[in-house]
């Protein structure tokens, strides 16, 4: 995972009132996030190199401000790296790991997907408040296009 800002722009389609917040308390693998095996929200936010490949609800398009994302210590799993990891898990993993990776490989390829891994410190934030807490913090990393 790169700590440097991405050269390729990454986009997201979401609601006009902002980016859907991640659930920072739900840690999982890339594949589990992509196939939504653990639920709708996890510690990641999906982004794409190609806006036309995103099939998600929402009437607004956003671009990830990758410079600020990197400067503030958050991670970006770029598309090529993501596909490589998923392919490796699909080839070498077993059972759930392999199955999740196979599904994720399909979806991530189709959607030209990358992932933002948020590294906020949520110590002291009550579990029930984590999503609301994150909502107010992730918006600054995206701009409407």
Partner 1 sequence: MLELFSCRNCVQNCGQSLNVGRGIGFCLQHNSVIEKPERTTCKYLQRKDLPRFVVEEAMLEHAAEFALFPALATLDTKEEVKRIYYSEKFSWEHDSYDPVLNAIAQYFKSKPAWAFIQSFSGGLDGRRSLTHAAIIRRYMNHCNTWVSSYRLTLGLIQEVDIDPLFDEQSLVIPPDMKPDEVRVQAHWDVIFCRLSGIQEYGWHAGLQDLMWASDKINGGLTEMNWALLKEEFGKIKKAWTAMIIGHAKHQEMFFSLDADQRDDEDELQSSQ
Q: Does 37 bind partner 1 (CB under 8 A)?
A: yes
Question: In residues, how long is the chain?
Answer: 145
Q: Are 13 and 56 in contact (CB under 8 A)?
A: yes
Q: In terms of CB distance, is 64 or 83 closer to partner 1?
A: 83
Among 39, 73, 80, 143, binds partner 1 (CB under 8 A): 39
Q: Among 77, 110, 83, which residue's Cα sits nearest to residue 8?
A: 77
Q: 40, 121, 126, 127: which one contacts partner 1 (CB under 8 A)? A: 40
CA distance 116 to 102: 21
Instruction: Work out whether 135 is an interface residue with partner 1 (CB under 8 A).
Output: no
> Cα(20)–Cα(81) distance, rounded to whole angstroms?
24
Contact residues toward partner 1 (CB under 8 A) are 34-40, 46, 52-53, 55-57, 87, 90-91, 94-96, 98-100, 102-103, 105-107, 109-111
């Amino acid at each position: 995972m790169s700590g440097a800002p991405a050269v390729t722009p990454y986009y997201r389609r979401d609601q006009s009132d902002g980016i859907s917040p991640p659930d920072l308390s739900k840690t999982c693998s890339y594949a589990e996030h992509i196939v939504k095996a653990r639920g709708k929200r996890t510690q990641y936010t999906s982004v794409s190199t190609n806006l036309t490949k995103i099939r998600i609800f929402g009437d607004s398009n956003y671009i990830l401000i990758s410079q600020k994302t990197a400067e503030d210590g958050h991670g970006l799993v770029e598309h090529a790296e993501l596909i490589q990891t998923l392919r490796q898990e699909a080839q070498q993993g077993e059972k759930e790991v392999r199955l999740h990776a196979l599904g994720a490989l399909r979806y991530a390829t189709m959607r030209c997907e990358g992932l933002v891994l948020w590294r906020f410190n949520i110590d002291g934030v009550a579990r029930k408040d984590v999503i609301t807490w994150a909502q107010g913090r992730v918006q600054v990393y995206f701009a409407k296009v």
